[in-house]
Amino acid sequence: MEERTIRSRLEGISKAAHPDLGDLEFLLSVETGEEKAEIFSFADTVRREGVGDSVFLRGLVEFSSYCSNTCLYCGLNRSNLSLERYRLSFEEILASAAAIAARGIGTIVLQSGEDGSEAGFIARVVSEIKDRYGLAVTLSVGERSRADYGLWREAGADRYLLRIESSDPALYEALHVGRRFETRLRCLVDLRELGYQVGSGVMVGLPGQTPRTLAGDIRFFREMDFDMVGIGPFIPHPDTPLRDAAPGVVDTTLLMIALTRIVTGNAHLPATTALGSMGGRDYRIEGLKAGANVIMPNFTPTERKRLYAIYPGKRCVDEPSGACVFCMEGLATLAGLHIDYSRGDSLKTHDASACLNGGASVF
């Protein structure tokens, strides 16, 4: 049988509602620079057609590092007793929102560990930010009840980030002791049904992950038709059970971003901070060139940034809050793109069948 070219496989996955796992696995495993360059260039074309040459900014505020969860990979997991924890007050969060608005950035991302924050508190924060600054508000506070998600949506929250972490139920449950994959999916479906723009994503290089698992993740992103997909390398944290695991490989992460761009078309894909924190080098430019179109400058107050230690070596923790914006302009230019300060809402028009029918194969 004739060997299929990279080009024909790329064209195949870009059109398919259920991209072929064999093709994805093959493309994730290419080894030569030439083959990778072909995939990145295809992704670049899809990005330009899908989302143009803009890089959107999301101002990130990590408002609490308390967490009741025990994710094996995460430095914030509750078993890490050596980490000093913090929680920002209402006014501190609003001050960060003011700084984001003052820079002309259109979106704030409010992220925390699974702190169990009182739902009413988050609702008040969201509605005050909308009233005072009119920012698009993205929440990222983990698994909560549909009622809480609904309350926050009514308070004005526009978007929600909840990474699936792995679309393989067995791997998911091995990494999240006592948690159910099904619950995670339920949350994602609840969020979509409540009218949020929904973001998900995975880490690359988790112990137990194979090219087949990653291929499944990419297919899952397509089938769920997410508005946003965050992909970053796994970076082992010394105070977690996975301290001795190998870190994710940069090129595999870049291929994951590129192939996700190719199958999702116009989803928003961040060049993640983790990708900027690998061994002291910033690979976010490569991320942008591989199909990403979002960067998330950090607006957490400087004295707290270091304490939000999901993984070690996180970049820019000593920079004054918000200083990153200048770097962002540079990053975008180096990638041949330009910063767009607008809200950068989802470009997807979900037809009713997209998420629920398309995702049916995973339920």
Under the rule (CB under 6 A), what is the footprint of ligand FES?
A: 67, 69, 71, 74, 76-77, 113-114
C-alpha to C-alpha distance for 244 and 240, rounded to whole angstroms: 9
Q: How far is the CB of 31 from ligand FES (least distance, A)?
A: 33
Q: How far is the CB of 45 from ligand 5AD (least distance, A)?
A: 28
DSSP 171-202: HHHHHSTT--HHHHHHHHHHHHHTT-EEEEEE
SS3 at position 55: strand
Per-residue x/- mask for ligand 5AD, residues 225 to 254, rule CB under 6 A? -------x-xx-x-----------------
Q: Is 173 exposed, middle or buried (0-12, 13-18, 19+ CB in 10 A)?
A: middle
Does position 305 interact with ligand 5AD (CB under 6 A)? The reply is no
Q: How far is the CB of 307 from ligand FES (least distance, A)?
A: 12
**Cα-based distances in Å from 178 to 68, 72, 183:** 12, 11, 11
Query: Closest CB to ligand 5AD among 220 and 311?
Result: 311
C-beta separation of 265 from 288 below 8 A? no
DSSP conformational letter for 338: E
Residue 77 binds what, of ligand FES, ligand 5AD, none (CB under 5 to 8 Å, by partner type)?
A: ligand FES
Binding residues for ligand 5AD restricted to 135-164, rule: CB under 6 A: 163
Query: Closest CB to ligand FES among 52 and 116?
Result: 116
C-alpha to C-alpha distance for 51 and 46, rounded to whole angstroms: 8
C-alpha to C-alpha distance for 75 and 114, rounded to whole angstroms: 13
* Pair of tokens at residue 80: 């890490």
Query: Closest CB to ligand 5AD among 14 and 253?
Result: 253
Residue 114 binds what, of ligand FES, ligand 5AD, none (CB under 5 to 8 Å, by partner type)?
A: ligand FES
Query: Closest CB to ligand 5AD among 157 and 231?
Result: 231
Does position 274 interact with ligand 5AD (CB under 6 A)? The reply is yes
Q: Element (H or E) spanning 276, and its range? A: none
Q: How far is the CB of 296 from ligand 5AD (least distance, A)?
A: 11
Q: Is 147 exposed, middle or buried (0-12, 13-18, 19+ CB in 10 A)?
A: exposed
Q: How far is the CB of 110 from ligand FES (least distance, A)?
A: 14
Q: How far is the CB of 293 from ligand FES (least distance, A)?
A: 25
Query: Closest CB to ligand 5AD among 14 and 69?
Result: 69
Count of all residues that appear for the chain in the document: 363
C-beta separation of 51 from 347 below 8 A? yes
| Of residues 8, 54, 57, the one with CA closest to residue 297 | 57
Does position 270 interact with ligand 5AD (CB under 6 A)? The reply is no
Q: Which residues bind ligand 5AD (CB under 6 A)?
A: 73-74, 163, 165, 203, 232, 234-235, 237, 274, 310-311
